[in-house]
Structure 1
Amino acid sequence: MTQPVNQRDTAQIARRPRVADEVRDALRRLLLERELLPGDRLLVSDLAQRFGVSPTPVREALSLLEAEGLVAKRPRQGYVVGDLLDHSTLQSLYAVRLRLEPWAAGQAATHATAEQLDRLDAMCGAPPSPPDALSYHEYAGVQDQDLTFHGLVADASGNVVLGDVLGRLAPKLRQFHAYHQAGATELAWQEHRAIAEAIARGDADAAEAAMTAHLQAALERIRSATVR
């Protein structure tokens, strides 16, 4: 017979994912702020002591970050900070985005709800200021907003499968967030604004063209900042 779970066990089960998420977020900040660099070893015992938690949520956090591509698990070495995507993978990633996202923007121009249009407009309401004086933590927040914007466009297309597919690309894109690109925040805001305005006008062709131009420009910015 299955033994009943007592209240203490239930509380521990409910609390553990939250602690693991907090550790994951703290580790991600260290990566974004470049306190940890590609190839650095990530010892569970050291991290548990650093964050004042048990090893279990640290292991769970590392597993979550591994799924995002930010850390890697190597034989006889354990977890290490992951490498940047290479040129070939970067090109492949953006080849997929350039196929799907312009179409999504065009669809959004004819399918977006009033609420979705309001959310897109709100995300493009004010330019970042000053664009080149952000900390790595603040820059990471800007990049999270970028992913959110693209997710909103995908949702506004009305194609739920598309939104899921594009969402799966987000972890790979996060691998570039530790690299601040001069002027990128303001340029991306201007490009997002052009996309949102075309969608709001219901101009599918302009929305598609604006998204294509944005992705091509983003690819060049990322390549110049990260690919050697």
Structure 2
Amino acid sequence: MTRSGTGQDRVYQALRTRILEHELGPGSRISISGEAQRLGVSQTPVREALNRLEGDGLVVRVASRGYAVTPLIDREQLAELFELRLLLEPWAAGEAATARLRNPARLLRDELEVLERLRGTEQAVQAQRALSDQRFHEAIVDAAGNGFLTTAVDRLHAHVHVFRLHQIDAEGRETYREHAAIFAAVEACDPTAAEAAMRAHLHGAFARLSAPAGADGITPRAARSHLR
């Protein structure tokens, strides 16, 4: 599955960015008329965008209130989410690390360069890091060539979005190091190394994302099975 932007996606991308950058915070109500006025469009494309964002897991429909940004998941739910990621994404990395024409090494290198250029800890910069991280993982999952996996991982990543601006790796250095290891394995067409690098990255990401929420000591079961 490919992801390409078109003019029709403008409203969707604008709302998604506002959510990822916390201009619309977790649990906040979204005014369809207000967003239509702000973006200079009718209410129809805003409704269509919200339908898409609901499918992404970024907004929820609230009875009699329209739409709201998805609330922050708790630390136990975060652990469960990473358990599933640990089952899916290392396999995807191994599949991507092949000599096939869709090997995503070039795309991964591009995102590493983006991450390296981003400096500072302000919220907008961290949001850009989050988007780069998302594109990095999307490239790997897309290269695995399984549409069901793509859909599943997209929804999992959506639930992590509110944690990304509150992790201890505020400047993205650890994320860069872990992404670089995944890139090196994919570029070398080494599936075993790619799986191991992705697993190490997910362990690190979970630790960074959960620590500020007071989840120290909580380890996903799938992660524990690989640490024995």
Please report the TM-score for the alignment, with normalisation by the length of structure 1: 0.74
Q: Flag the 1:26–1:90 CA change in 2: closer, same or farther, 3 A.
A: same
Gaps of 5+ in 2: 1-5, 216-228
Kindly indicate whether residue 59 of structure 2 is the aligned counterpart of residue 58 of structure 1. no
**What is the correspondence of 1:68-147 to structure 2 with a 5 Å cutoff?**
68-113=56-101, 116-125=104-113, 128-129=116-117, 131-136=119-124, 138-147=125-134
Please tell me whether Structure 1 or Structure 2 has the larger radius of gyration of its CA atoms.
1
Q: Is the 8 A contact 2:114 2:132 kept in 1?
A: no
Tell me whether 55-64 or 110-119 shows the greater mean CA deviation: 110-119
CA displacement, residues 107-162 of structure 1 (integer Å, 9 cap, x when unaligned): 333444486333333433475245434542x4333322222222322344465654
Match for residue 186 of structure 1 among 156, 169, 173:
173
1:13 alignment counterpart:
none
Q: Residues 223 and 46 (structure 1 numbering): CA distance in 2 closer, same or farther, change over 3 Å?
A: same
TM-score (norm 2): 0.74
Give the match for residue 218 of structure 1.
Answer: 205
Aligned to 2:21: 33
Evaluate the alpha carbon distance shift between residue 117 and residue 27 of structure 1 in structure 2; reply closer, same or farther with a 3 A threshold.
Answer: closer
Partner-residue secondary structure (3-state), 1:80: strand
Taking the aligned partners of 1:79 and 1:157, their CA distance within structure 2 comes to 33
Aligned residue number for residue 11 of structure 1: none
Match of 1:46 in 2: 34
Pairwise CA distance, 1:94? 1.2
What's the % identity of the aligned pairs?
Answer: 38
Unpaired runs of at least 5, structure 1: 1-16
Is residue 12–residue 52 contact of structure 2 (8 Å, CA) maintained in 1?
yes
Question: Distance in 1 between the 2:80 and 2:134 partners?
Answer: 18
* Kept in 2: contact 1:112–1:158 (CA 8 A): no
**Counterpart contact for 2:164–2:209, Cα < 8 Å:** no
Within the alignment, does 1:148 sit opposite 2:120 as a pair?
A: no
Equivalent-residue separation in structure 2 for 1:61 and 1:211 (angstroms): 32
Amino acid corresponding to residue 52 of structure 1 in structure 2 = G
Cα distance in 2 for residues equivalent to 1:70 and 1:126? 24
The 2-side partners of 1:124 and 1:37 are apart by: 28
Q: Is the 8 A contact 1:86 1:227 kept in 2?
A: no
Q: Distance in 1 between matches of 2:80 and 2:108?
A: 27
Determine helix, strand or coil for the equivalent of 2:64. coil
Shift of 1:212: 0.8
Is the contact made by 1:123 and 1:149 (CA closer than 8 Å) also made in structure 2? yes
Q: Post-superposition shift, 1:215?
A: 0.5
- Establish whether residue 209 from structure 1 lines up as the match of residue 201 from structure 2: no
Matched-pair contact (CA < 8 Å) for 1:38–1:81: yes
The alignment yields a C-alpha RMSD, in angstroms, of 3.0
